[in-house]
Structure 1
Amino acid sequence: MNWLWTWSGNSFGYRVDDQLRTHDGRHVGRFVGEEIYGADGLYLGELASEDRLITRQRKLGRFRLPFRPRMKQVERVQRTARAARLIRPGCQDFPAPSYL
C-alpha cells in the first residue's frame, strides 16, 4: 500500500495493486500504467512523481473500459498534508476525494 497526495499537498488516499482508494476506503480509480481512470472509464489524472497525483489537461476526455468499484475497505487515518508543488504548465490539481 502506497500513500498518495494531490499536487497541492492534500492527502488523497492510497494505491493497492491497480486500485486507487481514498483514505476512507472507497475504490475510486484504476491505474493503467501511471494513468488513473474512474469507474466510468474517464481519465482522472496520473502519478506524476513517486507519491503525487496530477491531471494533465490535454488528456481530459481519454477513456478506458469502465469498471465496477470493489467493496469499500476499512477507513484509514488520513495522512498529514505535505507542501504544495508548483502546478506544471498544462496541468491542474488532481480531484479531491470528496469530488469522486
Structure 2
Amino acid sequence: MNFVHRWNGEYFGWFHDDALYTKDGRHVGSRRQNDVFGLDGRYLGEVKNHRLITRIGKVGSSDIRGVPMLRTVGTTVNPMNERPLDLPDGFHEFPPPGSF
C-alpha cells in the first residue's frame, strides 16, 4: 500500500498494486505507468513526484475500462496532509476523493 496525496497536499488515499483507492476505501481508478484512469476508462490524472495531478492536455483521453473492485475498509492510518506545491503550467488539481 502506497499512500498518495493531491498536488495541494491533501491526503487522497492509496495505491494497492496499480488500483487507486480513496481514503475511505473506494476503488476509483487504476494506474497505467504514471497515468491514472477512472473505472470508466477516462483519464483522471497522473502520478508526478509521488503526488496526483491532472495534465490539461490529456483531459478527454481514455484507456480501457476498469473493473471495480470491492470496497475496502479505509486505513486506520490517516497520513497528515503535506505541504501544498505550486501547480506547474499545463496542469490542474486532481479531483478530490469526494468527487467520485
- Shorter chain as normaliser: what TM range? over 0.9
Take 1:67 and 1:48, find their aligned partners in 2: how far apart are those partners?
Answer: 22
- Following TM superposition, by how much is the alpha carbon of 1:39 offset from its aligned partner in structure 2, in angstroms? 0.6
State the percentage of identical aligned residues: 36
Q: TM-score, normalised by structure 2?
A: 0.95
- Work out the number of aligned pairs and report it: 99
- Letter aligned with residue 84 of structure 1: P
The one-letter code sitting in structure 1 at the alignment partner of 2:2 is N
The Cα RMSD (Å) is 0.8
Q: TM-score, normalised by structure 1?
A: 0.95
Structure 1 match to 2:93: 93
Counterpart-to-counterpart distance in 2, 1:53 and 1:89: 15
CA distance in 1 between counterparts of 2:5 and 2:19 reads 15
The answer for unaligned runs of 5 or more in structure 2 is none
Equivalent residues in 2 for 1:1-100, closer than 5 Å: 1-49=1-49, 51-77=50-76, 78-100=78-100
* Cα distance between partner residues in 2 of 1:70 and 1:56: 26
Whole-Å Cα distance in 1 between the matches of residues 32 and 96 of structure 2? 20
Deviations 1:32-68 (A, max 9, x none): 101000011000000011x211000000011111112
**Shift, 1:23, TM fit:** 1.0
